[in-house]
Chains A and B, each alone.
Chain A
Amino acid sequence: MNATTPATSPLYPVFAALSSSLSVAEDIFYKIPGSQVVARYVKSSHRNDPGRTALELILVVFAIWTLMKSRTRKDGQGKHFISFNEKEIDDLVADWTPEPLGKPLSEFEKHDLAAVPIIQGPNGPRPKLASNGKTVLNLASFNFTGLAGNENIKERAIETLRKYGLGSCGPPGFYGTVDVHMDFERDVADFLGTEAAILYSQGFSTVSSVIPAFCKRGDIIVADRSVNFAIQKGIQISRSTVRWYDHNDMNSLQEVLESVDKERKKRGGPLTRRFIVTEGIFEQDGKMSDLPKLIELKLKYKYRLLLDESFSFGTVGRTGRGLTELYNVPAAQVDMLCGNVSIGLASGGGFCAGSSVVVEHQRINGTSFVFSASMPPLLAVSASEGIAILRAQPSILATLQENVRAIHTVLAPVTGTLVTIPSHAASPVIHIHIKPQATSALAPGAAALIKHSKSNPASVRLPVDPLKGVDMEAEEKLLQEIVEECLNNGVWVTRAKRLRGQELVEPRASIRLSVTAALSRKETEKAAGVLKAAITKVLGKRR
C-alpha cells in the first residue's frame, strides 16, 4: 500500500514495519471463517457507492458510542444539568429547608380521628364501646352474614392454632404455602364454580395487585368512572391505556367499547389485551352492576372482565355467592373475579377466582402475593368454615335481605326530601347522601346539563363536575353530626371515610350502613328509626 514511498526516506523502516504488520493483520483477518464474505461485501459496496461506506462507518461509530454510554443518568448529563463547584453545592445544601414530613391535620381531621369509636372487647352486632361502656346496635362494621363471633368458627380457629401456630413465617414461594391455604382456594373456587382461585393476605391489596399482573403498558382498560380506590391504584401501576365510561351506565360502556374498536381499526397495530374493570356492588355508592349486560358486551367486543366483588361476595345471592348467583350467570364467564374475604366472610384477606391459567399467572406475577407472607392459617380456616356455613344456611341471606328492606322502609319518609339513597335496593351496603338544596348547582337544570354534555372517555373527570358548588367539608360535618347523634342514641353508623385529595374523582360524602343478618328485624328497624330521627334533627333545622 505504501509502495510509493521513496526508498531513500529516513522513515523507511517505520513504513516497512507498518506495511508488514498490515499484511499480517490482513492474513489473520482472512483466516477468520466468513471473513471473505465480509470483505467482498465491503469492497463491492465501496465500489458501487463510496458515500455509503462513509455513512456506514459513521453508523458503526455511533453504535459503539451509544453502547459505551452509560444507560443510567449520571452527573453532568441531561441538557438541564447545571454544573456547580463544591462550594456552591455546599451553599445550596445549607440553603435548602425541607417541608415537614407529615402534613399537620386540619381541625376537622383531628376531630374526626378522635371520634372514631373504639370497641371494648369483641366486635359484632351489639359491641360495647370503650368511650362510655355502652352497648350499641352496629350498622357500621362489615358483618353482613353475621359470621362474627360464630362459635364453630372460633373452635376451628383454635384447632388450627394448635396445629399450625399463628403466622406462616414465609411468603407462598418459600414454605409459606400451607395446606389450609390450598384448601380455602379449593373451597372458594368450588363455591363459586370456577376452575381455581388464589388467596391474597389482605383484601385491599388484592385487586390492586391483580390488575397490574395482567394489564401492561399498551393494553387497554375500560373502567367505570367510580371504581374504588384499590382499583384506581391497580390501574395506576399497570401503565395501561385507560378509557372511562359513565358510572354504571351500560350505554356509555357500549359507546366507549365501540369507539376503542373504531380507533384500533383505524390505527391498525397488533392485537392488545383488553379489559373491562368494574365492581359488583360499588364501594362508593352501593349501586349494582348489570352483570348479564356486562357479560354480553364483553363477549361481543372480546374483552376480559375483571369484576371486583369486594362488597357483593358474601352479601348478595341466594347463598352469598355474589352477583353471579344473583343474576344466574356462571362465574366462569367472569375472567377475573375478585372478592374480599375480610368483608364477605368476616375473616381476613382477599381472593381472585378464575380459570387455572388466570390463577397460576398470578402466583408468579401478583406482586402482593409473591412479595408478602401468606395469611395466618387460622384466618384461612375461618374463611373456609364461613363458606361452609353460608352453603348450609341460605336462610342467613334471606334474613339479610329482609333487614335491607326494613331499612329502606323506615327511611322512606326522609328519602327524597332530606337525603337520597343511591344504593341498589338489594344491596346490604346502603349509602346515604344529603339531598342537595335547591340553590346548589345540582338543581334540576344543572343535572340536565350534566346529562346532555358528552363525557370524554380519555379523562376520568366529567366535563361538568357533578359536585361543583357542593361544599364537601360542610356536608362531611353535617353527616358527622348525624353519626354522633346516632351514637348518642345507641346506634353505631359511620361516614364512608375517604382519602380526600388522593382519589381520582372525589366521591360524594355519605353515611354508609352495613346491614347485618345478626340483628333481628326489630332491632334493625329500631336502629333505622334512630338514624331517621337523627337525619330529621340535623338536616331538618338546616332548612
Chain B
Amino acid sequence: MPSSAASYLSALSKADAQARRSHNSTPPGTPALSMSSSITAESELEDPFSLANDTDSTDLMRPRTAPTSEQVFTTVHAEFGHCANQDYRYTSEHGPDDDLSHVDVEPPYYILLSTYASYLLLIVMGHLRDFVGKRFRPAAYKDLKATNGYAPLSSDFDSFYIRRLKLRINDCFSQPITGVAGRTVTILDRTTQNYNATQELTGTTTRTLNISSYNYLGFGQARGGCADAVEACLQRYGVSTLGARLEGGTSDLHVLAEALVARFVGAEAAVISSMGYATNSTFIPALVGKGCLVISDELNHASIRIGVRYSGASVRMFKHNDMHALEALLREVVSQGQPKTHRHWKKILVIVEGLYSMEGTMVDLPGILALKKQYKFNLFVDEAHSIGAIGPHGRGVCDYFGIDPREVDILMGTFTKSFGAAGGYVAGSTALIDCLRVHGHSGPYAEAMAPPVLAQVVSSMASIMGVAPAHTSTSTLQPAHREPHPAAAPASALPAWMALPPAQRDGSEGHERLRRLAFNSRYMARALKKLGFITYGHPSSPIVPLLIFNPGKLPLFHRLMKDRATPIVVVVVSYPATPLVSGRVRFCLSAAHTKDDIDTVLGACDEIGDLLDLKHGVGERWPLEEIMERSVELVHMDVHE
C-alpha cells in the first residue's frame, strides 16, 4: 500500500490504465459472462440442456426418466426440473385437525450428553490453544491485542466462538456460487492450506443439487417468462430509478407493482422496499415508539429485533408459537400498563412470523386472531418465508387458514424467496401505508427498488395470480370497493409492454408450481420422519429442519452430502442461530425439484443417517424403497397416523 500522496496518485493512474486494458479485452471480473451472452433464446429452445458442461453430472442435467414425445418442457432442467407426473402434486391447505404447536423432540440422553461434552471439549481446547498461542505465537494474535495505542477491533472473548468453533467448519458457510441458484447450483470449489483461516478458489466448479436456496416456487431462473420480462424492463427502464421514493426515485412501475402486491395479499395498499431486511428495520419504527409495547415471538428474525430497537418501544417476548404464554403475557401487560408509571400502553403490537425460518413452524394464526378480538392489540405478520409458498393460492398464511387478510393489521413479506427477486413489502390499510411512506425511514433515505427487480416481482406474482382477460377488468389501479380475494389480476394491473407466455398469463404455470412445492414439502417432511429422523416444523412447510444435535456431525453431514456421486449442497446451522444442543441441517424445498431429486436427497440422508447415528425419531419406520414407492400415499396420509 503506497503511503505518500504522490506515490498513491501514480499508483491510482497505473491501476486505471491496467483496468482499462483488461476492460477492453475482457470485461473485468466476470470473464465467464462473455460466453453466456452468446446463448440466445433461440439456441436455448433447441437444446434445453445448453447450460451443461462436460464435467457436470448428467444426473443433474437430464431427467432420470426421459420425457415422452408429447411432453414439452419450457424450462431448463438444471434450473427448474421436468416433472410431468400429475400424481406428484398437492394443495397446501389447513386441515381442521392439523397440529400447530411446536414440539421439541428430545433425542436419547447419550446424544444430549455427548453434545454437551463436545461443546465443552471445543471450548476447553479453544481456551487452551489461546493460552498457549498467545505466549508462543504472539504474531498470530496481534489483531486481538491492543497495538500502538489502539484497542483491538474485537476482543478475544467476543470472537472466541468465531475463532475456535466456527472456523473449524468454515467450509460449510459462505460457499461462493456462480449462475442460477435454481434446482441445481454450480459451486466454486474451494480448498484451504491453513485449516480454514483462508480459503482459496481452485478455479474449478461443481454442479450440485440445490436444496438450500430460498427458491420456493422456482422463479430463480435465467430463462422463461419472468426473465424475458426482466430483460424487456432493463431495455426500457435501465438499472436504477436514481433516488429515494419521496425524492427523485418513484416511477410508474413502483406504483403499479405496489397496487399488484396489495391485490395479491388482499390488502388496501402496499409499500415496497428495496431490501427485505430493511423492510422491517425501517418501517417498524414508523408504527411504534416510546410508550408502545411490542410483543415478539422469541424466534423472530433479527431484522424485526433491530426495527423494534430503532423505534424505542418496549419489548416483551413470549414462548415460540405458544398461545397460552401469549395470553398470560397479554393479561399481565395490559393490566400492569407501562413500567413504574402504570399508564396504559399507547399501542400494543404483536409481531409474529408466518413461517419460521429455522424451525419450519407455522404461526397459529387462528389462535392469535381469537386473542386479538379480546385484547385489542395490533397484529404484524412477517410473511418473509410464507408468502407465495403457503396456501392453495400462494397468498401466505391467511390463505392457508382461509382467513380474511384484512383481519391482520400489517402484512409484511419479502420477494427474495418465493418470487426469485429481492426486497420486501408492507401491506395494510391505505391510511396506514401512507403513514409508512412518510414516516418510515425508507421513504426519504433509502434507494427505491430497481426496475428489473420490480419486473421480476410483477411477472412472477402475476403468473401465480393469473391475469383476467381484459374485458372483465376494471381500469382503476387502487380498488375503491372490495374486490373478491383471492382473484386473478386484471390485465390493467400489468404494464402494457410486459408480454407473459400464455401458461403464465392464465395462471396455470403458477398453479402448477404451487402444487409441486406443496407435494415436495410434504413428501420430504413425511419421508424423513418415516426414515426415523427427528424433524421439526409443520408438514406443509417448505423448510424442513433435520436435527443433528452433535456439533461434530454437522460438518460431516455437509461434507458427506457434497462429496456424493450426485453432489448435494445443504445448509447446516448450530448455535447461536439455534439453541446450543439442537444443531440441524435445514432443507429448503422448491417447486423446481422433481420427485426424483427428493428421492436422491432421501437416499443420501438414509445412508449418512445410518453412518452418523441420526435416526432417533419415534413412530413407525419404513424402508427407503417403500417410501419412494408409496410416496403419493404418504403425502395424502392423515397427519395423526
Contact = CB atoms under 8 A, between A and B. Distances in A.
Interface of A: 75, 78, 80-82, 84, 88-89, 92-93, 96-99, 101-105, 109-110, 112-113, 116-124, 130, 138, 140-143, 148-150, 153-154, 156-170, 172-180, 182-184, 186-187, 190-191, 193, 195, 201-205, 214, 216, 219, 228-230, 233, 236-237, 270-274, 302, 304, 319, 321, 325, 328-330, 332, 340, 342-343, 346-348, 357-358, 361, 363-365, 367-368, 370-373, 375-376, 378-379, 381-382, 384-385, 388, 391-392, 492, 494, 496-499, 502, 512, 514
Contacts of B182: 165
B332 A75 contact: yes
A381 B31 CA distance: 12
B560 interface: no
A438 B338 CA distance: 47
Contact of A101 (B148, B287, B437): B287
Contacts of A89: 331, 334-335
A175 B175 contact: yes
B613 to A, nearest CB: 26
Contacts of A110: 434
Given A166-B452, A186-B29, A382-B239, A271 B151 contact: yes
Interface stretch (B56-64, B243-251, B521-529, B604-612): B243-251
B553 interface: no
A104 B434 CA distance: 9
Contacts of A161: 222, 227, 230-231, 234, 452
Contacts of B401: none
A492 B248 contact: yes
Interface stretch (B95-103, B276-284, B500-508): B276-284
Given A361-B154, A367-B306, A158 B2 contact: no
- A-B interface, 8 closest residue pairs, ranked by CB to CB distance from nearest: A183-B29, A141-B248, A497-B444, A102-B435, A372-B277, A140-B248, A141-B242, A342-B447
A14 B358 CA distance: 58
Nearest to B79: A165
B213 A175 contact: yes
B37 A391 contact: no
23 contacts: A93-B375, A102-B432, A118-B251, A118-B254, A150-B238, A161-B231, A164-B179, A174-B213, A176-B213, A179-B177, A180-B30, A183-B30, A201-B422, A203-B447, A205-B275, A330-B5, A348-B274, A364-B162, A372-B276, A372-B278, A376-B450, A378-B234, A385-B27
Contacts of A368: 275, 277-278, 281
Nearest to B306: A367
A166 B244 CA distance: 21
Interface in B148-197: 148-154, 158, 162, 166, 173-182, 185, 187-188
Interface string B438-458: 110111111100111100100
Nearest to A332: B1
A173 B214 CA distance: 13
Contact of A123 (B175, B177, B241, B274): B241
Contacts of A379: 239, 450
Contact of B331 (A93, A150, A176): A93
Nearest to A331: B8
Interface in B329-362: 330-332, 334-336, 339-340, 342, 344-349
B343 to A, nearest CB: 11
A122 B234 CA distance: 9
A289 to B, nearest CB: 17
A376 B277 contact: no
From B39, B162, B240, B275, name the one whose CB has the most chain A CB atoms within 10 angstroms: B240
A165 B252 contact: no
A96 B29 contact: no
Nearest to B161: A364
A109 to B, nearest CB: 5
Interface stretch (B84-92, B107-115, B413-421, B537-545): B413-421
Interface stretch (B9-17, B390-398, B623-631): B9-17
B577 to A, nearest CB: 10
A175 B569 contact: yes
Contacts of B274: 202, 348
B25 to A, nearest CB: 12
Contacts of B276: 372-373
B248 A190 contact: no
Given A158-B231, A357-B143, A373-B422, A169 B213 contact: yes
Given A169-B213, A329-B5, A141 B275 contact: no
A287 to B, nearest CB: 18
A121 B275 contact: no
Given A169-B215, A367-B302, 10 more contacts: A113-B437, A118-B254, A148-B238, A149-B238, A162-B223, A170-B181, A201-B422, A367-B306, A372-B277, A376-B421
B212 interface: yes
A230 to B, nearest CB: 7
A205 B446 contact: yes
A385 B231 CA distance: 18
A273 B450 contact: no
Contact of B447 (A124, A168, A348, A365): A348
A278 to B, nearest CB: 18
A104 B431 contact: yes
Contacts of A190: 15, 19
Contacts of A494: 247-248
B639 interface: no
B366 interface: no
Contacts of A153: 238-239
A222 B416 CA distance: 37
B556 interface: no
B571 interface: yes
B239 A154 contact: yes
B602 interface: no
Contact of B420 (A93, A169, A361): A169
Nearest to A512: B247
Nearest to B455: A166
A165 B378 contact: no
A166 B420 contact: yes
Nearest to A194: B1
A371 B277 CA distance: 7
From A118, A202, A378, A512, name the one whose CB has the most chain B CB atoms within 10 angstroms: A202
Given A93-B335, A202-B278, A205-B278, A175 B177 contact: yes
Nearest to B188: A179
Contacts of B439: 103, 499, 502
Contact of A164 (B29, B222, B445): B222
Nearest to A218: B151
B32 interface: yes
Contacts of A392: 16, 19-20, 23
Given A119-B251, A156-B33, A177 B176 contact: yes
Contacts of B254: 118
Given A82-B336, A167-B419, A193 B15 contact: yes
A175 B247 contact: no
From B176, B219, B235, B281, name the one whose CB has the most chain A CB atoms within 10 angstroms: B281
A163 B32 contact: yes
Nearest to B40: A162
Contact of A141 (B33, B249, B282): B249
Nearest to A274: B151
Contacts of B252: 118-121, 130
Contacts of B11: 193
B116 interface: no
A112 B345 CA distance: 31
A167 B415 CA distance: 9
A166 B456 contact: yes
B349 A101 contact: yes
A41 B320 CA distance: 48
Contacts of B143: 357
B571 A165 contact: no
B20 A391 contact: yes
A372 B435 contact: no
A149 B219 CA distance: 26
